[in-house]
Amino acid sequence: MTVIVRGALDECRHRLGVGHVERDTRYPARRARRQCVGGRLRSGLVDVGQDHRGAAPRQCARHCFADPRRRPGDDGHTSLGSGCRPPRGEPRPGMRIGSRRRWRWHGHGHGAATPTVTPMVATEGGAVPWLSWVGANGPTGAISMLSSCRVGRRRGAGVADRGRVRTSREGGGHGPVVVREARGSGPGPDGARPRRRRGRGQRRAGAGQPFRVPRWGIALAPALGAQDLAGVEALLDTWRRGAVVAGSSAGAMVLTDPMVDPRGGALTVGWAWWRNWR
């Protein structure tokens, strides 16, 4: 079997060579594009997309420096998660940990941190799952994507927005982690009771279960659930079984470790890093 990891989807190629993944099915055109993507995946492809939805023109113009004065700490580019505006009610990119009503409205996968490298794996047998929003941008992008996804799901379970940062030792040697307590599990780490919110969250399964939210990516990978890594794992399993994995464009970029962060050129964690974890 040959798995081709591509770097672009349909006509939405942009200057980075990474395609845009259409996930919003409310509009017919987007639904059609998504079906088109699904059709391509059924042909046995892995596509790597990058979500620029909601990015302001300033963020889209990556060749422009965010800080002309190049002050310390500026990597030359504005992060996509900051300074973005939601056009016409579309979800604002960035971490969604706070209480925002639009979270549930957009459902799983939306409102996640951008840029987003989204692996979609065409597995053997023709089943083409839309995998969890696993990224490969490493600590600042992809794996923090995982955290936002997990937060997103658990927010449906009624998770309070409070937690504490554990030390590296407490985290089992995997670096600092943010421990978030589920709603209804008692007072928060600062002694205050979780802020009550109305809604169905408290009645959902999973409420009351503490979970970890990885914050700095690579060091926190062991805390991630297998469901979050389904995409990369499926690809790795296929590769271990002897499949030929070919990458082009951003697909080639993410198959290595480290990988080049498409936002600013820094090096971060690539998919190849995960091969050591399974």
Which residue ranges make up the site for another protein (CB under 8 A)? 7, 15-17, 62-63, 76, 236, 239, 245-250, 252-253, 255-260, 264-267, 270-273, 275
Phi, psi (5° rounding) for residue 91?
A: -65, 145
Q: Tokens 């996968």 sit at which residue?
A: 109
Contact 182, 211 (CB under 8 A): yes
Rounded to the nearest whole angstrom, what is the least distance from the CB of residue 271 to another protein in the complex? 7
Helix or strand or coil: residue 210? coil
- Determine the length of the chain: 278
Rounded to the nearest whole angstrom, what is the least distance from the CB of residue 7 to another protein in the complex? 6
Nearer to another protein, 163 or 270 (CB): 270
Rounded to the nearest whole angstrom, what is the least distance from the CB of residue 239 to another protein in the complex? 6
Cβ neighbours of residue 155 closer than 8 Å, sequence gap 6 or more: 96, 103, 104, 201
Distances (CA, A) of 224 to 67, 117, 160, 230: 34, 17, 19, 11
Distances (CA, A) of 50 to 112, 118, 221: 11, 7, 21
Contact 18, 260 (CB under 8 A): no
Nearer to another protein, 120 or 157 (CB): 120
Rounded to the nearest whole angstrom, what is the least distance from the CB of residue 17 to another protein in the complex? 5
Residue 2, strand partner residues: 244
Q: How many other CB atoms are there within 10 angstroms of residue 171's CB atom?
A: 21
Rounded to the nearest whole angstrom, what is the least distance from the CB of residue 257 to another protein in the complex? 5
Nearer to another protein, 109 or 115 (CB): 115
Spatial separation of the C-alpha atoms in residues 82 and 177, rounded to whole Å: 22
Nearer to another protein, 182 or 254 (CB): 254
Rounded to the nearest whole angstrom, what is the least distance from the CB of residue 216 to another protein in the complex? 18
Rounded to the nearest whole angstrom, what is the least distance from the CB of residue 58 to another protein in the complex? 15
Nearer to another protein, 210 or 265 (CB): 265
Nearer to another protein, 108 or 275 (CB): 275
Spatial separation of the C-alpha atoms in residues 188 and 194, rounded to whole Å: 6
Nearer to another protein, 102 or 275 (CB): 275
SS (H, E, C) 96-118: CCCCCCHHHHHCCCCCCCCCCCE
